[in-house]
Structure 1
Amino acid sequence: MLFLSIHPEHVKAIVEGRKTVELRKRKPSIDPGSAVVIYATMPKCEAVAVATVEAIEVGEPTIIWRNCGKLSAVSVQAFNAYFDGAGKAVGIHLSSIAVFKEPVSLGELRQRWDGFQPPQQYRYLDAKQQKFITARETTVGGCSLS
């Protein structure tokens, strides 16, 4: 299971269904069908949802923009700034967004997972961490992050 750190405005777009592709510079080692934990970074600092990886596209930034730009809910200017100088881009297609009924705060994650630090980009969860996440009660879509 992958734990993705994402800026709160992008998390909001994901849970509202406006963003179905998360953009990255590095491809994580996961396969379609894998679960992903969506963590909203500062100032929220909380895990808010889980999703399923539908597909992963890797290619030159211009190709990824053409294939995924509208699905990423970012402007072409923001896309170009993020991938400036990068030889490749990654589009992680997400589906089946299940929002936690109660977000999991950074404080709670640190209490339950000794030494936990949210990643800059992503990290992989161990079996104990996965069990905790999959036991969370969820609802489909509709999370308010205002």
Structure 2
Amino acid sequence: MLFLSIHPEHVKAIVEGRKTVELRKRQPSVDPGFAVVIYATMPTCEAVAVATVEAIQVGKPKTIWRNCGKLTAVSAQAFNDYFDGADKAVGIHLSNIAVFKEPVSLRELRKRWDGFQPPQQYRYLDSKQQKFIATREKTVGGCLLS
């Protein structure tokens, strides 16, 4: 399970379905079908949802923008600023967004996962952490899942 740190405005766009591609400069080692925890960074500081990796695209920033730009919910200027000087861009296509019924605060994550520090980009969760996330109640399209 991949734990992605994402700015709150982008998390909102993902949860609302306006953003289906998350952008990164580094490619995580995941395949389609891999589960992702979506963590909203400061000032929110909460794990708010899980998703599934639908696909990963890697290429020159211009190519990724051409192929995925409309799915990123960012402006061309913001995209270009983020990838300024980079020779590679990564687009992580997300699907099956399931929002936690109750977000998991950073305080709770640290209480349950000794020494936990949210990553700048991403990290992989161990089996204990994955089990905790998997047992959280989630909603999809207004329906409660468990």
TM-score scaled by structure 2? 0.96
Structure 2, unpaired ranges of 5+: none
Q: 1:32 matched to which residue of 2?
A: 32
1:71-124 per-residue CA deviation (whole Å, 9 max, x = no partner) reads 000000000000000000000000000000000000000000000000000000
Structure 1, unpaired ranges of 5+: none
1:15 matched to 2:37? The reply is no
CA contact (8 A) 1:17 1:141 kept: no
Q: How far did residue 41 of structure 1 move?
A: 0.2
TM-score scaled by structure 1? 0.96
For the residue of structure 2 that corresponds to 1:114, the secondary structure is coil
For the residue of structure 1 that corresponds to 2:4, the secondary structure is strand
CA contact (8 A) 1:97 1:141 kept: no
CA–CA separation in structure 1 for the residues paired with 2:140 and 2:59: 31
Q: How far did residue 140 of structure 1 move?
A: 1.1
Q: How far did residue 141 of structure 1 move?
A: 4.8
1:51-84 per-residue CA deviation (whole Å, 9 max, x = no partner) reads 0000000000000000110000000000000000
Q: Which runs of 4+ in 1 moved over 2 A?
A: none
CA–CA separation in structure 2 for the residues paired with 1:13 and 1:49: 12
Aligned pair count?
142
CA–CA separation in structure 1 for the residues paired with 2:35 and 2:106: 20
CA–CA separation in structure 2 for the residues paired with 1:62 and 1:92: 16
Q: 2:103 matched to which residue of 1?
A: 103
CA–CA separation in structure 2 for the residues paired with 1:106 and 1:88: 31
Supply the AA of the counterpart residue of 1:57: Q
Q: Percent identity?
A: 87
> Following superposition of structure 1 onto structure 2, how do residues 1-146 of structure 1 map, counting pairs within 5 Å?
1-141=1-141
CA–CA separation in structure 2 for the residues paired with 1:106 and 1:79: 28
Supply the AA of the counterpart residue of 1:95: S
For the residue of structure 2 that corresponds to 1:98, the secondary structure is strand
